[in-house]
Structure 1
Amino acid sequence: MATIELTGDTFTETIENNDIVLVDFWAAWCGPCRQFAPVFEEASNKHEDIVFAKVDTDAEQELAAAANIQSIPTLMAFRDGLMVFSNSGVLPANAVDDLIRQIRELPMDDIRAQMEAEAKGAAPAGGGCGCGGCNCGANNG
């Protein structure tokens, strides 16, 4: 599957209506972004069940600001509408493949329970998803 361009108008709908979405925040003038682009495109061809999307931070400045993008490239991963990973910098192909494997294996029911408990001010039993690579709060990696 080829990558798609996201805008402020399509971002939320894309995240909410797909199981797994990887978003590359980039700009044309950014050397590291150009370096990461073929890695991202290759991954999109290998993992056709995942939505691979790009956000041009120059064209979508409000969206980049809302996503708190501080440097580019930034890769964000969403599963079931939740951001589970965010990283600035270039990732090699094997790291992207490993990230995708980890995202597929995430125990989403446990993560949702943890988020609900944190929202209520209590920690869940068991203490996290254990993935070590996401922003779910487990940080066991």
Structure 2
Amino acid sequence: MATVELTKDNFNDTVDQQGMVLVDFWASWCGPCRMFAPVFESASERHDDVVFGKVDTEAEQELAGAFGISSIPTLMVVRDGVVVYAQPGALPEQALEELIGKARDLDMDQVRHQIQEQQSSAQ
């Protein structure tokens, strides 16, 4: 599956769905972003059940700002509408595969419970 260009118009519809979405925040002038792009694209071809989206931070500054993106590339993993990972840095292929595996293995009921506990204790 090819990567999907994400914009402020389709971002929420894409990441709020059931399943897993990997989002690559990038820019054309960013060397590490260009190095990570083929790794991300290759993974998208191996994982048909995962949506791979790219946000051009130059074209979508409002979207990048909404997520506090200050370093690129930043990879975000959203599972069943919940952000379960968001870190800057270009990952090598093996590390990306491990991350996808770990995200698949998450018990999302437990993740939601932990989020609720954190929100309750913060109030």
Task: Compare CA radii of gyration and give the structure with the larger one.
Answer: 1
Is TM > 0.5 for Structure 1 vs Structure 2?
yes
Structure 2: tracts of 5 or more residues without a match: none
Q: Equivalent residue of 2:69, what SS?
A: coil
Q: What is the TM-score of this pair, normalised by structure 1? A: 0.84
* Map of 1:109 onto structure 2: 109
Alignment of 1:5-44 (within 5 A): 5-44=5-44
* Map of 2:64 onto structure 1: 64
Counterpart of 1:45 in structure 2: which amino acid?
E
- 1:25-79 C-alpha deviation (Å, 9 max, x unpaired): 0001111100000000000000010000000000000000001101110000000
The list of structure 1 runs, each at least 4 consecutive aligned residues, that deviate by more than 4 angstroms after superposition, is none
Q: Post-superposition shift, 1:120? A: 1.7
Counterpart of 2:36 in structure 1: which amino acid?
F
C-alpha contact (below 8 Å) 1:18/1:51 kept by paired residues: no
Counterpart of 1:87 in structure 2: which amino acid?
Q
Structure 1 Cα separation of the partners of residues 58 and 46 of structure 2:
28
Q: Identity over the aligned pairs, expressed in percent?
A: 57
Give the RMSD, CA atoms, in angstroms.
1.0
Q: Post-superposition shift, 1:117? A: 1.8
Q: Post-superposition shift, 1:118? A: 1.8
Q: Which has the higher helix share?
A: 2
* Map of 1:78 onto structure 2: 78
